[in-house]
Amino acid sequence: MNTYFKLRDSAGPGDVTPVFKQLIEQNAGPELERYHQTTFAAFTQQGNSLTLFLQPLTAIHLTSHLSEEIERNGDIQYIYLLGAVALFIIILACINFMNLSTARSANRAREVGVRKAVGAQHNKLVGQFLLESYLYTIVAVVLAVFIIRVALVPFNILVHKSLGMALILHPVFVGGLLVFIALVGLAAGSYPAFYLTSFAPAEVLKGRMRKRLTGYGIRNILVVFQFFISISLIIATLVVYKQLTHLQRVNLGFNQGNILNLLHTR
């Protein structure tokens, strides 16, 4: 049995839980005597128990897996899994941006050298490269929202859901999106910004930067890490695909045709 109620602002679950034992004894005792000819004390002495507990309404869909739920619940593990995949993809995108930015360092180094020679400050040069990173991130987010808007209708048809775009306008989501843009822009643009602005103007203008630009270092480490994440995601995808294929083709030991599954309530 599910009962929904709202606590006062000044009350918490700890204020209500101690009352549950008394409520069970007062209400379940007469029912046990009427239908089972036993007392509540004898019922508990036999190893049986009746419990009541509180659960936040927002936690029911993903974390509640009780019997006789009103409808089928989701699983929080899927959220964690998809979130981890999304995080790895974002890391790959940041590494790609870093590698592309440093690959163009030969051309940007001349720009930095000239600007330093005419008196440009180091912090302003760093700010310029970070601003470019933020602009790319904002454009990517806008493009992602547009793609979601276009693909939402066929996705709802595919998964038999009715998801909408109202969540994007929620203040919490907007705030989280702004934090996401700030973190991704900083993560993707910080290394190229400090790397490109570390060149000495004299060396750049005299053409002595070729050896430094083609040397080994953090860039190669990023490439190796990028391949590691890519291969891991590919392997995980293949494992999931093989598992789903096995579930669809495995012999259940009986003929599934013309069999009905009837649900009933007591």
Tens-place pLDDT, residues 167-222: 788 889 889 999 999 999 998 888 888 877 777 766 666 665 554 544 456 777 87
Question: And the tokens for 2?
Answer: 């599910």
**So what's the pLDDT on residue 139?**
94
**So what's the pLDDT on residue 215?**
46
How many domains does the chain fold into? 2
pLDDT at 11 over 90: no
Instruction: Establish if 240 belongs to a structural domain.
Output: no
Q: Are residues 7 and 64 in the same domain?
A: yes
**So what's the pLDDT on residue 249?**
83
Q: Are residues 195 and 125 in the same domain?
A: yes
Say which amino acid occupies 194.
F
Q: Are residues 106 and 210 in the same domain?
A: yes
**So what's the pLDDT on residue 204?**
62
Q: Which residue has the higher pLDDT, 107 or 236?
A: 236
Q: Is 200 exposed, middle or buried (0-12, 13-18, 19+ CB in 10 A)?
A: middle
Mean pLDDT score of the chain: 81
Q: Are residues 134 and 17 in the same domain?
A: no
Average pLDDT value for residue range 220-225: 81
Average pLDDT value for residue range 81-109: 83
Q: Are residues 108 and 59 in the same domain?
A: no
**So what's the pLDDT on residue 214?**
47
pLDDT at 96 over 70: yes
Instruction: Establish if 263 belongs to a structural domain.
Output: no
Q: Which residue has the higher pLDDT, 128 or 263?
A: 128
In which domain, by residue range, is 138 found? 93-225
Q: Which of 138, 115, 255 is nearest to 197 (CA)?
A: 115
Q: Are residues 100 and 28 in the same domain?
A: no
Q: In Å, what is the CA distance from 218 to each residue of 18, 75, 162, 221, 229? A: 59, 39, 46, 5, 16
Q: Are residues 70 and 146 in the same domain?
A: no
Instruction: Establish if 83 belongs to a structural domain.
Output: no
Q: Are residues 183 and 121 in the same domain?
A: yes
What is the percent of the chain where pLDDT is above 90?
13
Contact 192, 101 (CB under 8 A): yes
Q: Which residue has the higher pLDDT, 154 or 259?
A: 154
Q: What would the pLDDT profile of 36-94 be if each residue is shown by its tens digit?
A: 778 877 888 888 877 777 888 888 888 777 776 777 777 888 889 889 989 988 988 88
Average pLDDT value for residue range 14-32: 79
Question: Is the C-alpha dihedral spanning 188, 192, 195, 197 positive or negative?
Answer: negative
Q: Which residue has the higher pLDDT, 104 or 221?
A: 221
Q: 143 falls in which pLDDT band (50, 70, 90)?
A: very high
Please work out, in degrees rounded to the nearest 5, the angle formed at the alpha carbon of residue 64 by the alpha carbons of 62 and 65: 110
Contact 116, 126 (CB under 8 A): no
**So what's the pLDDT on residue 28?**
79
Q: Can you tell me the distance from the alpha carbon of 122 to that of 58, in angstroms, rounded to the nearest whole number?
A: 49
pLDDT at 266 over 60: no
Q: Are residues 102 and 210 in the same domain?
A: yes
Q: Are residues 59 and 116 in the same domain?
A: no
Q: Which of 74, 104, 127 is the last residue of a domain?
A: 74
pLDDT at 35 over 90: no
Q: Are residues 122 and 214 in the same domain?
A: yes
